[in-house]
Amino acid sequence: MKIAAIEAIPYTIPYRHPLHFASGSVHEADHVLIRLRTDEGLVGTADTPPRPYTYGETQKSIIAVVEDIFAPQLIGVDIFDREKVQAILYRTVHNQTAKGAVDIALWDVIGKVLGQPVTKLLGGYTDSLRVSHMLGFKPAPELLALALEFREKHGINTFKLKTGRRPLHLDVEAARVLREGLGEEAELYMDANRGWSAVEAAEVLRRTADLGLQFLEEPDDAREVLGRRRLAANSPIPIAADESAANLGEAAREILTGGANLLAVKTARSGFTEAAKIVGMAEGMGIDVYIGNQIDTQVGTAASVTFGAAFAHTAKRAAELSNYLDMADDLLAEPLVITGGRIRVPEGSGAGTAVDEEKLSHYRTDR
């Protein structure tokens, strides 16, 4: 069975609660839905979040690279020749999330053809994941109120605090208020999205040393190699690579050069194929991973659950899966549910990414 067409459909859904962080802000999900059709009429679906401040992609650039570069080369390729598809995609540099979505749409259609959930094809380790919720910039009392609400409503007790602000005491205070208000049992970690220098990050680590934080993600710009290496070597908690490890090669480099000792894995930027390679490499090196969030919709989150539940190594830690709750609406045909702080793997064949056609017609912006 062959790839017959790949569509890139722009759509916009507003956020009820915009998210602010050190590298940018999100007020609306101006994403691109990827649909890969086979010559027998089956369709695979995936979501693409443009993150110009992270990968340099925009809604328009994603549509252009998918329609003008990927689709002409992929049409006619057998859907099971995944490494051939990877080789074609990687002839083009960058465009991380566009590549990731084409790969996920391909896996979705493979699952449908085989009549199997993709999570089983990938590994089938478990049927649910523990959820971590990402808290954007807000005054400390509001952050605590929000975290308590998520714990009460959804049973979530793991929180990622967006940091990287100046003056540093804003984030130090936020972490302290969360720890005091949530208690010892809550899992807390920080993500600075490169907002600090290595020296500032070291100061924050000193000032939060008594708060039992799990790890610090992307404290500074990892390209400032010596500062990052010194920070990671002297940090009492792991330093996690997110945007500095956007692909397999970068993930290997960050681990080997000592820039990080923990990895965020995001299906939105790695698809399933490259994400699986990153997870295997990390496991072999004794490096823990966790499923990160690209400020995903439910369609993107369903893909993350499908992937994260497939492997023992990704299922160990809480996965960032709940920020779709900040959106005013979504496209996923079977809405996700978080109960007792967990999300179950979507049922049925494919990657669980099927969309509600009426909602897509309503939110698409190309007609």
Q: Footprint of Mg ion on this chain (CB under 5 A)?
A: 191, 217, 242
Residues acting as catalytic residues: 162, 191, 217, 242, 266, 294
Q: Mask: binding to ligand MUC, 279-298, rule CB under 6 A, as x and -?
A: -------------xxxx---
Q: Which does 272 bind (CB under 5 to 8 A by kind): ligand MUC, Mg ion, none?
A: none
Phi-psi region of 12 (alpha: psi -120 to 50; beta: other; left: phi over 0): beta
CA-closest candidate to residue 61, choices 6, 14, 107, 10: 10
Q: Which does 202 bind (CB under 5 to 8 A by kind): ligand MUC, Mg ion, none?
A: none
Determine contact, residues 213/262, Cβ cutoff 8 Å: no
Nearer to ligand MUC, 108 or 242 (CB): 242
CB of 292 to Mg ion, least distance (A): 6
Any contact of residue 191 with ligand MUC (CB under 6 A)?
A: yes
The neighbouring-strand residues paired with 135 are: 161
In 10 A of CB 326, how many CB atoms? 17
H/E element holding 30? strand 24-38
CB of 218 to ligand MUC, least distance (A): 7
Q: Mask: binding to ligand MUC, 225-244, rule CB under 6 A, as x and -?
A: -----------------x--
Nearer to ligand MUC, 118 or 251 (CB): 251
Tokens of 66: 């998918």
Task: For CA atoms 263, 176, 22, 152, give the dihedral sign.
Answer: positive
Nearer to ligand MUC, 111 or 219 (CB): 219
Tokens 């208020």 -> residue: 177
Rounded to a whole number, what is the distance in angstroms from the first to the last CA of the chain?
Answer: 30
Q: Which of 45, 48, 86, 193 binds ligand MUC (CB under 6 A)?
A: 193
Any contact of residue 51 with ligand MUC (CB under 6 A)?
A: yes
Q: Which of 54, 119, 132, 244 binds ligand MUC (CB under 6 A)?
A: 54
Distance of alpha carbon 97 from alpha carbon 102, whole angstroms:
9
H-type alpha helices, the chain: 59-64, 71-74, 82-89, 96-114, 118-122, 140-154, 169-182, 198-207, 225-234, 248-256, 267-270, 273-285, 298-308, 312-315, 357-363
CB of 340 to Mg ion, least distance (A): 26
Q: Which does 51 bind (CB under 5 to 8 A by kind): Mg ion, ligand MUC, none?
A: ligand MUC
Size of the site for ligand MUC (CB under 6 A): 11
CB of 250 to ligand MUC, least distance (A): 15
Nearer to ligand MUC, 122 or 295 (CB): 295
Determine contact, residues 261/274, Cβ cutoff 8 Å: no
CB of 46 to Mg ion, least distance (A): 21
Question: Residue 184 phi/psi, 5° resolution?
Answer: -65, -30
Determine contact, residues 102/74, Cβ cutoff 8 Å: yes
Any contact of residue 21 with ligand MUC (CB under 6 A)?
A: yes
Q: Which does 254 bind (CB under 5 to 8 A by kind): ligand MUC, Mg ion, none?
A: none
Nearer to Mg ion, 217 or 274 (CB): 217
Determine contact, residues 314/289, Cβ cutoff 8 Å: yes
Nearer to Mg ion, 57 or 191 (CB): 191
CB of 89 to ligand MUC, least distance (A): 20
Residues that bind ligand MUC (CB under 6 A): 21, 23, 51, 54, 191, 193, 242, 292-295
